Structure 1
Amino acid sequence: MYAIIVDGGRQYRVEPGMEVDVDFRDIEAGESITFEKVLAVSNDGGMTLGAPTVSGASVKASVVGVEQDKKIYVQKFRRRKHSKSRIGHRQKHLRIRIEEIAGA
């Protein structure tokens, strides 16, 4: 059984027990989160596609913790002016564990 959910403009194919990195939210580890935008649900009986979402379907997940990407550097350089800058950025992500796929 799997589902396709939308979060932050991205689509994720999730299964129960799977861990996924989604966009950061200010949520403590151990709390639960519910995704209502479910595009498709597949189970033993077949596949249910939404138009655009499956009504009554939801995916429940629990928060494992906060992760960070590798550091990226952004540079700005202007020729002949001795003007340059370099800054770094590390994007935060929320690691979640899929608990249950309900509905459909």
Structure 2
Amino acid sequence: MFAVIKTGGKQYSVTAEDTITVMALAGNPGDAITFDNVLMIAGEGEPTFGAPFVAGATVAAEIVEQKRGPKVLSFKKRRRQNSKRKRGHRQDLTLVKITGVKTA
């Protein structure tokens, strides 16, 4: 059985025992969390689609690690103006292990 969940403005297709990287979630490693925004559940029989979410469906997960993504550099230079700007950014991410998919 698999589900499509929405978190951090993105959609993820997950099954039990999957490990995914999502935008930063509050919590410490080992904490249990649930995703209530389930867009679709499929597996046995016909798939169930939500409008927009499937009523009563949840996905249980556990936080594995809080980490940061790779550094992204933004460099702007205006030639012959003696003007330049360099900025860096690292996105906060959370590594999550899916423990189960529950239907209504």
TM-score by length of 2: 0.92
Q: Which moved more, 1:6-15 or 1:84-93?
A: 84-93
Residues 10-47 of structure 1, C-alpha deviations (whole Å, 9 max, x = no match): 11000000001111123100001111110100122331
The CA deviation at 1:68 is 2.1
The root-mean-square deviation of aligned C-alpha atoms, in Å, is 1.2
Q: Does 1:71 align with 2:71?
A: yes
Structure 2 CA distance for aligned equivalents of residues 26 and 49 of structure 1: 28
Structure 2 CA distance for aligned equivalents of residues 26 and 74 of structure 1: 28
The letter for the 1-side match of 2:75 is Q
| Match in the other structure for 2:32 | 32
| Match in the other structure for 2:55 | 55
TM-score by length of 1: 0.92
| Match in the other structure for 1:41 | 41
| Unmatched tracts of structure 1, length 5 or more | none
Question: 3-state SS of the aligned residue for 1:45?
Answer: coil
| Match in the other structure for 1:83 | 83
Question: 3-state SS of the aligned residue for 2:26?
Answer: coil
Q: List, as ranges, runs of 4+ consecutive aligned residues in structure 1 with deviation greater than 6 Å.
A: none
Structure 2 CA distance for aligned equivalents of residues 41 and 67 of structure 1: 29
The CA deviation at 1:80 is 2.6
Aligned residues: 104
Question: 3-state SS of the aligned residue for 2:52?
Answer: coil
Question: 3-state SS of the aligned residue for 1:46?
Answer: coil
The CA deviation at 1:51 is 1.1
Q: Which moved more, 1:82-91 or 1:3-12?
A: 82-91
The letter for the 2-side match of 1:81 is Q
The letter for the 2-side match of 1:75 is F
